[in-house]
Amino acid sequence: MMRRTSSRLGAAAAALFALLLALTGCAGSTASEPAEDNPYGLIEPGTIRVASLGDAKPYTFTDADGEFTGFDVELFEDVAGRIGIDDVVFTGQDFAGLLAAVANGQFDVGVAAIGITDERKQTVDFTDGYLAGYLSAVTPKDSGITSEEDLAGRRMGVVQGTLQEAYAVKNLTDTELVRFPDNNAAISAVNSGAVDAHFLDYEAAKAYIDQYDLVSAADIPSFDAPAGFAVAPENTALRDALNEGLAEAMEDGTWKRLYEKWFPGSPMPQQYLPETEQTAAAEPTP
């Protein structure tokens, strides 16, 4: 008798306990969620929403199935996994609006070979750098443009808001700039003859060179503006966590593996390799 009673009591207690657990679990997913459930201040806890580009191959681009991929995409997914987030949602944006969309909270992060500059730091915060390369002017083989100087008197495309635009405005004052929303539109204009050249990132230039039989007329170092992941200025917890993940990905050779996968044959920068693999050679040459 006693046993039966106590076992009934036990069952009732277990049911009550389960109910309490369920209630607590429920409370955990309401809007007034405690910060410890969302330590990185994400728009939706457990998911990182990323503003990116669909046509900056091989940095960030969409494949035949419409999935985002590329060096920056895979590196970011790896780093996000290290801070415990496996659900990363990429969305294509125009570059010109990308940093503002991160700053005003439409996205958690911006990932698109975005060079870190003081000017951009007025809008967003950046993680540490993870890529440092060149800005390249691509042109048809028969354009007669074979140097930066040859761009004088010519029409050149730039994507609005890029460092290429800023460089050209400052240094290529005799070149007529034509602003485009994205690389695909600018390369179409090169191929149709509407512009004589397009100015974009080195690896993306390489991809278009291979695809359309173009050449690079000039490769201009942009080592002083290495690419970083952009986060809203107030979200220091996310930035700090990403920095730790990034450092781990560099130290364990993940960064190097992805670099070799996406940029085969390109000069290997030393500063992002595991410490034991770094040599004295400081900067890559194209």
Contacting positions for ligand SNW (CB under 6 A): 53, 56, 95, 112-115, 131-133, 159, 162-163, 201-202, 222, 225-227
What are 54's strand-pairing partners? none
Q: Which of 138, 136, 140 shows the shortest CA–CA distance to 193?
A: 140
Neighbour-count burial for 34-43, b at 16+ CB within 10 Å, e otherwise: eeeeeebbbe
Q: Least distance in Å: CB of 227 to ligand SNW?
A: 4
Q: Which of 132, 251, 269 shows the shortest CA–CA distance to 201?
A: 132
Instruction: Pick between residue 42 and residue 79 the one whose CB is nearest to ligand SNW.
Output: 79
Q: Least distance in Å: CB of 56 to ligand SNW?
A: 4
Instruction: Pick between residue 162 and residue 235 the one whose CB is nearest to ligand SNW.
Output: 162
Instruction: Pick between residue 131 and residue 238 the one whose CB is nearest to ligand SNW.
Output: 131
Q: Least distance in Å: CB of 153 to ligand SNW?
A: 25
Q: Least distance in Å: CB of 221 to ligand SNW?
A: 8
Q: Least distance in Å: CB of 55 to ligand SNW?
A: 9
Tell me the three state secondary structure of residue 187: helix
Q: 179: Cβ–Cβ under 8 A, 6 or more apart, which residues? A: 157, 158, 159, 160, 165
Instruction: Pick between residue 94 and residue 237 the one whose CB is nearest to ligand SNW.
Output: 94
Q: What DSSP state is assigned to residue 149?
A: G
282 neighbors 221 (Cβ within 8 angstroms): no
Tokens representing 49 are 């929403």
Query: H/E element holding 96?
Result: helix 95-103
Instruction: Pick between residue 40 and residue 59 the one whose CB is nearest to ligand SNW.
Output: 59
